Chain A
Amino acid sequence: MCDTCGCNITDGNRHLVSPGGRLEQTEDGRTAITVLKSLLGENDHQAQHNRAHFDARGILAVLAVNLMSSPGAGKTALLEATIDALGDPARIVVIEGDLETENDAARIRAKGVQAVQIATGSACHLDAHMVHDALHRIDLDGVDIVFIENVGNLVCPASFDLGQHLNVTLLSVTEGDDKPAKYPVMFRAADMMLLTKTDLLAVLDDFDTDKAERALRLVGSAAPVLHASARRNVGVDHWIDWIEGELVAQRARIEAGTTRRPAVQAEGARLHASEAAGGAHGHSHGHSHDHGHDHGHDHAGAPAADTSR
């Protein structure tokens, strides 16, 4: 969502914009100021920087994928299987988020892949600033895909844009098929839901994959659903096909001068765009800010995010 051009003004808050302009005196002499900024505006701004960094390499632009799930759903195991399946460790970089330890980064490095561990201390999520700091320690030359393994948590990570292009939410079949209904914010944020540990379906009689998918649809998501078992290497090929397809799609977007933001934000942008088209409010995305980055990227207002799936 853009905070500078007025596209935050929606049917829900239009009445708050004071007719006399942004400033108005209240009866008791206070100065009332209309702000209409996302509370996470600062994070979102940093996230745009990160995305510009990923997008700055033209036809060799990097695809950034944020992996979210409960603790223990198999994010690191999926990454290990992904590294094996892709065959070339130099194509991948992994940013690992955990409260403590370098354990996950060590597992990734053991596969010959560049990995940076972010120890968040007590923070329950990664934010765009942490990822930015990690990017300073990463060489993106020759890299195709950056995986960001978020802190295992089905709540907080969903609210923070990191600059990634895609969110993948993992749901392991040992967790219960009603998780999307219980954690709607998280599952709405998913560009793809990956059911993991599916080799265990044979011994579980209480996880119905169709029910899990229906629960995802009921939170208003049209995201695809894939199944995989990283340990038994079942379904990993479909996951790899999806990722490779998304890499090609992202590079096509970069060539066309656009980029992509993850599912939830993109939906907001789409709604605002349709309002603007209806002439509901003046809406120009022509402005650009110079952030002093040297990659020559002009992130003009709300980026021209390709919201198609």
Chain B
Amino acid sequence: MHELAVCQALVQQLEDVSAANGGGRVELVRLRIGPLSGVEAELLRHAFPVASAGTVAERAELAIEVAPVTVRCSDCGATSAAAPNRMLCGACNGYRVRLASGDEMLLESVELASAEASAAQML
């Protein structure tokens, strides 16, 4: 259950982003998570309300895009989809592949309410 620790790091980043951009409430958080990042999107969703309670990101919507596992073949150059525990080139079946996508654990973007809107809601 390291997803809570990951969520706490995320909330810290959200607070920094908000503070650097006028201090508005965080409305939407877009993440990109790959199966090989070691983090489960579903567990992040469960942990986020706990980690964000009482912060500028409380009640923010979490939009998680699950990145596909894709590999680039060092032999034939093809890029193809692969399973996390069967990383073979889809074109030539070779095993000399490099991961092109699938290990991301990325905070892509954040949408903030304008500072005035945030202040109005606090009243």
Binding site for B on A (CB under 8 A): 8, 10-13, 16, 23, 26, 29-43, 123-125, 127, 155-156, 158-160, 180-182, 184-186, 188, 215, 217-220, 264, 267-268, 270-271
Beta-carbon contacts under 8 Å, B67-123 to A: 67, 71-72, 84-88, 95, 97-101, 103-114, 117
14 further A-B contacts with Cβ under 8 Å, apart from A12-B104, A39-B107, are: A12-B32, A23-B21, A26-B111, A29-B114, A30-B111, A30-B114, A31-B24, A33-B110, A38-B107, A125-B5, A159-B38, A185-B36, A185-B84, A219-B85
Contact of A267 among B1, B21, B24, B98 (CB under 8 A): B98
Majority-rule SS of A interface residues: mixed
In the complex where A30-B28, A31-B22, A267-B99 touch, is A39 in contact with B38 (Cβ < 8 A)? no
How far in angstroms is the closest Cβ of chain A from B111?
4
Closest to B36 in A: A185
Q: Of residues A12, A26, A185, which shows the largest number of chain B Cβ atoms within 10 Å of its Cβ?
A: A12
Could you list 22 A-B pairs, sorted by A, with CB under 8 Å? A12-B101, A16-B30, A30-B27, A31-B22, A32-B112, A33-B112, A35-B13, A35-B110, A36-B109, A37-B13, A39-B105, A39-B107, A124-B1, A155-B38, A156-B1, A181-B86, A185-B37, A218-B86, A218-B88, A220-B99, A268-B99, A271-B98
Assess the B2–A156 pair: CB atoms within 8 A. yes
Given contacts A16-B108, A159-B2, contact A39 B13 (CB under 8 A): yes
In the assembled complex, the Cα of A31 lies from the Cα of B23 at a distance in Å of 11
Given A31-B21, A39-B31, A219-B84, also A124-B108 (CB < 8 A): no
Which residues in A have their C-beta under 8 angstroms from that of B84?
A: 184-185, 219
| Chain A proximity of B105: nearest CB distance (Å) | 5
- Whether A31 pairs with B38 at a CB distance below 8 angstroms is no
Count A/B pairs, Cβ under 8 Å.
Answer: 138
Interface centre among B9, B30, B72, B114 (most CB of A within 10 A): B9
Known contacts A31-B111, A33-B111, A127-B5; is A268 also within 8 Å of B85 by CB?
Answer: no
A277 to chain B, nearest CB (A): 14
Do A35 and B109 form a contact, CB below 8 Å, given A42-B12, A219-B87?
Answer: yes
**B2 contacts A35, C-beta separation under 8 Å:** no
How far is A93 from B54 in the complex, measured between Cα atoms in Å?
A: 41
Residues of A close to B88: CB separation below 8 A: 218
- Report which of A31, A159, A182, A215 forms a contact with B114, defined as CB distance below 8 A: A31
B109 contacts A16, CB within 8 Å? Answer: yes
Beta-carbon contacts under 8 Å, B7-42 to A = 9-10, 12-13, 17, 21-22, 24, 27-28, 30-32, 36-39
Taking a contact as CB atoms under 8 Å apart, the answer to whether B106 and A36 are in contact is yes
Alpha-carbon distance between A127 and B21 when the two chains are bound, in angstroms: 29
Asked whether B105 lies within 8 Å of A188 as measured between CB atoms, the reply is no
A118 to B98, CA, bound (A): 35
Which residue in A155, A160, A186, A268 is a CB contact (below 8 Å) of B103? A268
CB neighbours of A184 from chain B (8 A): 36, 84-85
Known contacts A158-B38, A220-B99; is-contact A38 B114 (Cβ 8 Å): no
Distance in Å: Cβ of B16 to nearest Cβ of chain A: 9
Name the A residues within 8 Å of B97 (CB-CB).
220
Bound together, the chains give a CA A156 to CA B87 distance in angstroms of 21
Question: Which chain A positions have C-beta within 8 A of B114?
Answer: 29-31
Q: How many whole Å from B110's CB to the nearest CB in chain A? A: 5
A246 to chain B, nearest CB (A): 23
**B residues in contact with A271, CB < 8 Å:** 72, 98-100
Report whether A35 and B87 are in contact in the complex, using a CB–CB cutoff of 8 Å: no
> Are A220 and B109 within 8 A (Cβ)?
no
